[in-house]
Homo-oligomer: A and B are copies of this chain.
Amino acid sequence: MASKAVLIYGGKGALGSTLVKFFKEKGFATTSIDFFENDTADDNILLKSDLGFEDQANAVKQALEGKSGLKVDAIVCVAGGWAGGSLKSKDFIKNANLMMQQSVWSSYIAASLAPHFLRENGLLVLTGAQPALSSTPGMIGYGVAKAAVHHLTKSAGAEKGGLPEGAKSLAILPVTLDTPMNRKFMTPDGSWTPLDDVASILYNWTSSPESSPPSGSLVQLITKDGKTETKIE
Protein backbone atom coordinates (compact mmCIF):
# COMPACT_ATOMS: atom_id res chain seq x y z
CA MET A 1 0.00 0.00 0.00
CA ALA A 2 1.21 3.49 -0.88
CA SER A 3 2.19 5.74 1.99
CA LYS A 4 -0.41 7.99 3.50
CA ALA A 5 -0.63 11.54 2.20
CA VAL A 6 -2.65 14.74 2.61
CA LEU A 7 -3.05 18.00 0.72
CA ILE A 8 -3.60 21.03 2.95
CA TYR A 9 -4.99 24.06 1.07
CA GLY A 10 -4.13 27.08 3.22
CA GLY A 11 -1.25 25.12 4.77
CA LYS A 12 0.65 28.17 6.02
CA GLY A 13 -2.27 29.70 7.97
CA ALA A 14 -2.74 29.14 11.69
CA LEU A 15 -4.98 26.09 11.34
CA GLY A 16 -3.21 24.87 8.20
CA SER A 17 0.20 24.93 9.90
CA THR A 18 -1.20 22.95 12.82
CA LEU A 19 -2.61 20.36 10.42
CA VAL A 20 0.63 20.01 8.45
CA LYS A 21 2.59 19.43 11.68
CA PHE A 22 0.00 17.03 13.13
CA PHE A 23 -0.34 14.86 10.03
CA LYS A 24 3.41 14.82 9.45
CA GLU A 25 4.03 13.58 12.99
CA LYS A 26 1.53 10.80 12.29
CA GLY A 27 3.57 9.67 9.29
CA PHE A 28 1.63 11.35 6.46
CA ALA A 29 3.36 12.92 3.48
CA THR A 30 2.13 16.53 3.56
CA THR A 31 1.72 18.95 0.68
CA SER A 32 0.88 22.56 1.52
CA ILE A 33 -0.89 24.79 -1.00
CA ASP A 34 -0.61 28.42 0.06
CA PHE A 35 0.67 31.84 -0.96
CA PHE A 36 3.58 31.28 1.42
CA GLU A 37 5.89 28.31 1.87
CA ASN A 38 5.44 26.04 4.89
CA ASP A 39 8.92 24.74 5.79
CA THR A 40 7.49 21.85 7.79
CA ALA A 41 5.54 20.45 4.82
CA ASP A 42 7.18 17.76 2.68
CA ASP A 43 6.14 19.66 -0.40
CA ASN A 44 4.79 23.11 -1.26
CA ILE A 45 2.66 24.44 -4.07
CA LEU A 46 2.73 28.21 -4.12
CA LEU A 47 -0.36 30.19 -5.11
CA LYS A 48 0.16 33.43 -7.01
CA SER A 49 -1.65 36.51 -5.74
CA ASP A 50 -1.95 38.04 -9.22
CA LEU A 51 -3.94 35.14 -10.69
CA GLY A 52 -7.71 35.10 -11.12
CA PHE A 53 -9.92 32.18 -10.11
CA GLU A 54 -9.61 30.01 -13.23
CA ASP A 55 -5.90 30.63 -13.74
CA GLN A 56 -5.16 29.83 -10.11
CA ALA A 57 -7.12 26.59 -10.37
CA ASN A 58 -5.24 25.61 -13.52
CA ALA A 59 -1.86 26.46 -12.01
CA VAL A 60 -2.51 24.31 -8.93
CA LYS A 61 -3.73 21.37 -11.01
CA GLN A 62 -0.71 21.55 -13.30
CA ALA A 63 1.69 21.71 -10.37
CA LEU A 64 0.11 18.61 -8.86
CA GLU A 65 0.15 16.78 -12.19
CA GLY A 66 3.92 17.33 -12.09
CA LYS A 67 4.12 14.99 -9.08
CA SER A 68 3.71 11.79 -11.03
CA GLY A 69 0.84 9.62 -9.80
CA LEU A 70 0.17 11.63 -6.65
CA LYS A 71 -2.88 10.37 -4.74
CA VAL A 72 -3.83 11.55 -1.27
CA ASP A 73 -6.04 10.25 1.53
CA ALA A 74 -7.48 13.69 2.23
CA ILE A 75 -7.75 17.09 0.61
CA VAL A 76 -8.39 19.62 3.35
CA CYS A 77 -9.16 23.28 2.63
CA VAL A 78 -8.71 25.55 5.62
CA ALA A 79 -8.07 28.76 3.70
CA GLY A 80 -10.42 31.59 4.58
CA GLY A 81 -10.83 34.91 6.27
CA TRP A 82 -13.30 37.09 8.10
CA ALA A 83 -14.89 40.48 7.53
CA GLY A 84 -17.90 42.10 9.16
CA GLY A 85 -20.48 44.50 7.77
CA SER A 86 -24.14 44.83 6.81
CA LEU A 87 -25.47 46.26 3.53
CA LYS A 88 -24.66 49.69 4.93
CA SER A 89 -20.93 49.09 5.30
CA LYS A 90 -18.93 51.33 2.98
CA ASP A 91 -16.79 48.26 2.23
CA PHE A 92 -19.77 45.97 1.60
CA ILE A 93 -18.88 44.95 -1.97
CA LYS A 94 -15.14 44.98 -1.34
CA ASN A 95 -15.52 42.58 1.58
CA ALA A 96 -18.06 40.43 -0.25
CA ASN A 97 -15.48 40.03 -3.00
CA LEU A 98 -12.66 39.29 -0.55
CA MET A 99 -14.70 36.64 1.26
CA MET A 100 -15.53 34.94 -2.05
CA GLN A 101 -11.90 34.89 -3.04
CA GLN A 102 -10.63 33.68 0.33
CA SER A 103 -13.28 31.08 1.13
CA VAL A 104 -15.18 30.20 -2.05
CA TRP A 105 -12.37 30.17 -4.63
CA SER A 106 -10.14 28.14 -2.32
CA SER A 107 -12.88 25.63 -1.53
CA TYR A 108 -13.79 25.31 -5.21
CA ILE A 109 -10.16 24.75 -6.22
CA ALA A 110 -9.69 22.15 -3.47
CA ALA A 111 -12.89 20.40 -4.58
CA SER A 112 -11.84 20.47 -8.24
CA LEU A 113 -8.70 18.49 -7.35
CA ALA A 114 -10.65 15.60 -5.82
CA PRO A 115 -11.54 13.71 -9.02
CA HIS A 116 -7.84 13.75 -10.01
CA PHE A 117 -5.81 13.41 -6.82
CA LEU A 118 -8.03 11.95 -4.08
CA ARG A 119 -7.89 8.20 -3.44
CA GLU A 120 -10.97 6.03 -3.45
CA ASN A 121 -12.60 6.19 0.00
CA GLY A 122 -10.70 9.44 0.63
CA LEU A 123 -11.96 12.64 2.23
CA LEU A 124 -12.54 16.14 0.89
CA VAL A 125 -12.87 18.50 3.86
CA LEU A 126 -13.92 22.14 3.47
CA THR A 127 -14.30 24.85 6.10
CA GLY A 128 -17.72 26.33 6.69
CA ALA A 129 -18.94 28.27 9.71
CA GLN A 130 -21.53 27.47 12.35
CA PRO A 131 -22.99 31.03 12.36
CA ALA A 132 -23.75 30.74 8.62
CA LEU A 133 -26.36 28.06 9.34
CA SER A 134 -28.69 31.02 9.91
CA SER A 135 -28.73 34.62 8.74
CA THR A 136 -25.63 36.76 9.37
CA PRO A 137 -26.79 40.40 9.01
CA GLY A 138 -23.73 41.82 10.76
CA MET A 139 -21.24 39.96 8.56
CA ILE A 140 -23.05 39.42 5.29
CA GLY A 141 -20.09 38.76 2.99
CA TYR A 142 -18.64 36.22 5.40
CA GLY A 143 -21.95 34.40 5.87
CA VAL A 144 -22.76 34.31 2.15
CA ALA A 145 -19.33 32.85 1.34
CA LYS A 146 -19.65 30.20 4.04
CA ALA A 147 -23.21 29.33 2.95
CA ALA A 148 -21.76 28.80 -0.53
CA VAL A 149 -19.12 26.46 0.94
CA HIS A 150 -21.85 24.55 2.77
CA HIS A 151 -23.76 24.02 -0.45
CA LEU A 152 -20.58 22.98 -2.27
CA THR A 153 -19.89 20.41 0.46
CA LYS A 154 -23.40 18.96 0.24
CA SER A 155 -23.41 18.84 -3.55
CA ALA A 156 -19.90 17.42 -4.00
CA GLY A 157 -20.75 14.83 -1.37
CA ALA A 158 -24.04 13.75 -2.94
CA GLU A 159 -24.37 10.81 -5.30
CA LYS A 160 -23.01 11.76 -8.75
CA GLY A 161 -21.25 14.84 -7.32
CA GLY A 162 -18.06 13.63 -8.96
CA LEU A 163 -15.93 12.32 -6.08
CA PRO A 164 -13.88 9.13 -6.51
CA GLU A 165 -15.56 5.84 -5.54
CA GLY A 166 -16.32 5.69 -1.83
CA ALA A 167 -14.91 9.15 -1.13
CA LYS A 168 -16.75 11.62 1.09
CA SER A 169 -17.13 15.38 1.22
CA LEU A 170 -17.45 16.96 4.68
CA ALA A 171 -17.39 20.49 6.07
CA ILE A 172 -16.18 21.51 9.49
CA LEU A 173 -18.20 24.37 10.98
CA PRO A 174 -16.28 26.06 13.78
CA VAL A 175 -17.63 28.97 15.80
CA THR A 176 -14.37 30.62 16.91
CA LEU A 177 -10.98 29.00 16.42
CA ASP A 178 -8.25 29.68 18.95
CA THR A 179 -5.84 31.40 16.56
CA PRO A 180 -3.28 34.15 17.20
CA MET A 181 -5.35 36.46 14.94
CA ASN A 182 -8.52 35.93 16.96
CA ARG A 183 -6.58 36.43 20.23
CA LYS A 184 -5.36 39.73 18.84
CA PHE A 185 -8.91 41.09 18.55
CA MET A 186 -10.93 39.16 21.16
CA THR A 187 -10.56 37.64 24.60
CA PRO A 188 -10.60 33.85 24.45
CA ASP A 189 -12.98 31.80 26.52
CA GLY A 190 -13.81 28.12 26.93
CA SER A 191 -15.91 28.13 23.75
CA TRP A 192 -12.95 28.71 21.45
CA THR A 193 -11.86 25.60 19.60
CA PRO A 194 -8.17 24.65 20.04
CA LEU A 195 -6.46 24.01 16.69
CA ASP A 196 -5.11 20.68 17.94
CA ASP A 197 -8.70 19.53 18.52
CA VAL A 198 -9.50 20.23 14.87
CA ALA A 199 -6.34 18.40 13.80
CA SER A 200 -7.20 15.43 15.96
CA ILE A 201 -10.76 15.21 14.56
CA LEU A 202 -9.52 15.43 10.95
CA TYR A 203 -6.79 12.87 11.63
CA ASN A 204 -9.32 10.42 13.08
CA TRP A 205 -11.65 10.86 10.08
CA THR A 206 -8.77 10.39 7.63
CA SER A 207 -7.41 7.33 9.43
CA SER A 208 -10.77 5.56 9.57
CA PRO A 209 -13.03 7.21 7.00
CA GLU A 210 -15.65 4.50 7.53
CA SER A 211 -16.30 5.96 10.99
CA SER A 212 -16.47 9.58 9.76
CA PRO A 213 -19.84 11.35 9.27
CA PRO A 214 -21.96 10.60 6.18
CA SER A 215 -20.82 12.25 2.96
CA GLY A 216 -22.15 15.77 2.50
CA SER A 217 -22.41 16.42 6.25
CA LEU A 218 -21.92 19.84 7.79
CA VAL A 219 -20.14 19.06 11.04
CA GLN A 220 -20.33 21.69 13.76
CA LEU A 221 -17.35 21.90 16.10
CA ILE A 222 -18.80 22.79 19.48
CA THR A 223 -16.34 23.57 22.26
CA LYS A 224 -17.48 23.85 25.88
CA ASP A 225 -15.09 24.41 28.78
CA GLY A 226 -12.24 23.71 26.37
CA LYS A 227 -13.63 20.31 25.28
CA THR A 228 -14.62 19.94 21.60
CA GLU A 229 -17.42 17.75 20.28
CA THR A 230 -18.78 17.29 16.78
CA LYS A 231 -22.44 17.73 15.95
CA ILE A 232 -23.87 16.96 12.54
CA GLU A 233 -26.16 19.76 11.40
Listed stretches A36-44, A109-117, A222-230; interface member? A109-117
How far is it, in angstroms, between the C-alpha of A135 and the C-alpha of B158 when the chains are bound?
7
A122-178 residues at the B interface, CB under 8 angstroms = 132, 134-138, 140, 143-145, 147-148, 150-152, 154-163
**Are A144 and B152 closer than 8 Å at their CB atoms?**
yes
| A86 / chain B contacts, CB cutoff of 8 Å | 156, 160-162
**Are A100 and B93 closer than 8 Å at their CB atoms?**
no
**Are B148 and A145 closer than 8 Å at their CB atoms?**
yes
> A209 interface residue, CB < 8 Å from B?
no
Task: Give the contacting residue for A87; candidates B94, B111, B148; CB below 8 A.
Answer: B111
How far is it, in angstroms, between the C-alpha of A164 and the C-alpha of B202 when the chains are bound?
44
**Are A138 and B156 closer than 8 Å at their CB atoms?**
no
| A160 / chain B contacts, CB cutoff of 8 Å | 86, 137-138
A-B contact pairs, 17 of them (CB 8 A): A57-B93, A87-B114, A87-B115, A92-B108, A100-B100, A104-B144, A108-B144, A135-B154, A135-B157, A140-B156, A140-B161, A140-B162, A144-B148, A144-B155, A147-B150, A147-B151, A148-B148
Residues of A within 8 A of B (CB): 53-54, 57-58, 86-89, 92-94, 96-97, 100, 104, 108-109, 111-112, 114-115, 132, 134-138, 140, 143-145, 147-148, 150-152, 154-163, 216
